[in-house]
Amino acid sequence: MARNILIVSSSLRAGSNSELISKEVERGALSAGNNVEFLSLKDRKIEFCIGCLKCQKQGKCILKDDMSELIEKVNNADTLVFSTPIYYYEMSGLLKTFLDRCNPLYIRDYHFREVYLITASAENSQTVYQRAKSGIEGFVECFPNAEFKCVFSGGGLTNPQEIKTHDEILERAFAFGTKI
Ligand SMILES: Cc1cc2nc3c(=O)[nH]c(=O)nc-3n(C[C@H](O)[C@H](O)[C@H](O)COP(=O)(O)O)c2cc1C
């Protein structure tokens, strides 16, 4: 059955490798008959969570920025795919900020059931993305109806657009997209 998939891309770099990988995942997911929305956090105004916890009473955040629109996209998706460059063996600060700002969903009847992670990194290893994976798992743990599924990692990618010389990663990304 077609699912509503939201891909959240969190690199701010022009020619982002993680974004180009995520676009291939999107193509794969579309080819499998899903509805896919690609959300780049570039040019979005997303402030840091200030921890006031008013969202836990009101179901919405007191900060006035783009998150009031973006959180509805997260809430309405069946499947979430977070995409990040690896920074110091972690997810990007922007993605972490985005997750923190999803806190109003904690008391809402959120819809998403499956969560995936896409990473791009200079190092090509199974260990480079483990802390980012842990961070996403921590987020998912707070939403008991959802399940963390798996990571797609592209390694050996340092410079912008370097992914374009790695057809094998892009092919894997397309195949990954057909299965999410
Ligand atoms: C601040 C910063 C920290 C980084 N830390 C790591 C790291 O810990 N491990 C690694 O393999 N690559 C690291 N990199 C390299 C990026 O992960 C790599 O260039 C990746 O392709 C960037 O993805 P993007 O093009 O989607 O932004 C770092 C890059 C920056 C700018």
Contact present, 173 and 154 (Cβ < 8 Å) = yes
Ligand 1 centroid, distance to 155 Cα (angstroms): 10
Q: Is the CB of residue 9 below 6 angstroms from any atom belonging to ligand 1?
A: no
List the domain range (segments joined by +) for residue 139: 4-179
Q: Is the CB of residue 128 below 6 angstroms from any atom belonging to ligand 1?
A: yes
User: Which of the four pLDDT bands, split at 50, 70 and 90, describes residue 109?
Assistant: confident
Contact present, 128 and 155 (Cβ < 8 Å) = yes
How many beta carbons lie within 10 A of that of residue 161, not counting itself? 13
Q: Is the CB of residue 48 below 6 angstroms from any atom belonging to ligand 1?
A: no
Q: Where are the alpha helices (DSSP H) in 47-148?
A: 55-58, 67-76, 93-100, 130-141
- Say what the pLDDT of residue 1 is: 81
CATH of the domain at 21: 3.40.50.360
pLDDT digits (tens, 9 = 90+) for 166-175: 999 999 999 9
Number of domains in the chain: 1
The residue among 176, 70, 86, 72 whose CA lies nearest residue 135 is: 86
pLDDT digits (tens, 9 = 90+) for 62-90: 999 999 999 999 999 999 999 999 999 99
pLDDT digits (tens, 9 = 90+) for 6-40: 999 999 999 999 999 999 999 999 999 999 999 99
